[in-house]
Amino acid sequence: MELGAGDGTKLACYPPGLGEIVIVEADPSLRQAAREAASSVSAPVRVVDGSLTRLPFPDDFADVVICSLMLCSSPRPDATLAEVRRVLRRDGELRFYEHTRSFNPVVAFAEGLITPVWAPACGGCHPARDPLAAIEKVFAVRRLERFSFDHVAHVMGVAA
C-alpha cells in the first residue's frame, strides 16, 4: 500500500511479482492520473479514495506500507501513522522516504518561519516537520539513512 501516491509516477519503481499494489490518494485529479499510470505496470493496481487519518481498510491488511514525501502534508501525522500501524500486518514493514527539518539549526529555524506561508501555497507541506520523530513514536526504525538532496534534508528507512 502506498499512501498519498500522487500521480502514480512511483509505480514504475515497484519490483515485478507483487500480488497487488494499493494506492490511497485523496485528490481526485491525482487519483485519475494514478489510474492512468497503473495501466503501464505489470502488477494489479487498485487506486482508492481515502483519508490519511482514516484508511478504508481492515486491520492487518497490508504487508508493506510506503510513505513517500507525504507525511509533511498530512493534516495529522500522528493519526496517519496510527492508521498505518492499524492496517499493517504484525510482521509488516513501513518503508519511508521523507524530507525533514534541516540538520542545520539556522536553516531549521528559517523553515519554521516560512511554514505559515509555505504550507497553504504548497499543498499543506510543512518544511519544518520532523517525520522521523513521528515515526519513532509508533514504530521501531530498523534501517535509516539521512542525506541532503537539492540542499534539503531527507530521511529514508524501514520501520516495523
Could you tell me the CATH number of the domain that includes residue 139? Answer: 3.40.50.150
CA atoms within 13 A on the CB side of 24: 22
Which helix (H) or strand (E) covers residue 37, if one does? helix 28-38
CA distance 7 to 29: 8
- Count of the separate structural domains present in the chain: 1
Q: What is the pLDDT of residue 41?
A: 87
The mean predicted confidence, pLDDT, of the chain is 93
Q: Which residue range forms the structural domain that includes residue 23?
A: 2-159
- Burial of residue 153 (number of CB atoms within 10 Å: 0-12, 13-18, 19+): buried
Dump pLDDT digits (tens) for 27-80: 889 999 999 999 888 889 999 998 899 999 999 999 999 999 999 989 899 999
* Whole-prediction pTM: 0.89
What pLDDT sits at residue 42?
Answer: 86
Q: What is the pLDDT of residue 27?
A: 87
Burial of 15 (0-12, 13-18, 19+ CB in 10 A): exposed
Percent of all residues in the chain with a pLDDT value above 70, rounded to a whole number: 100
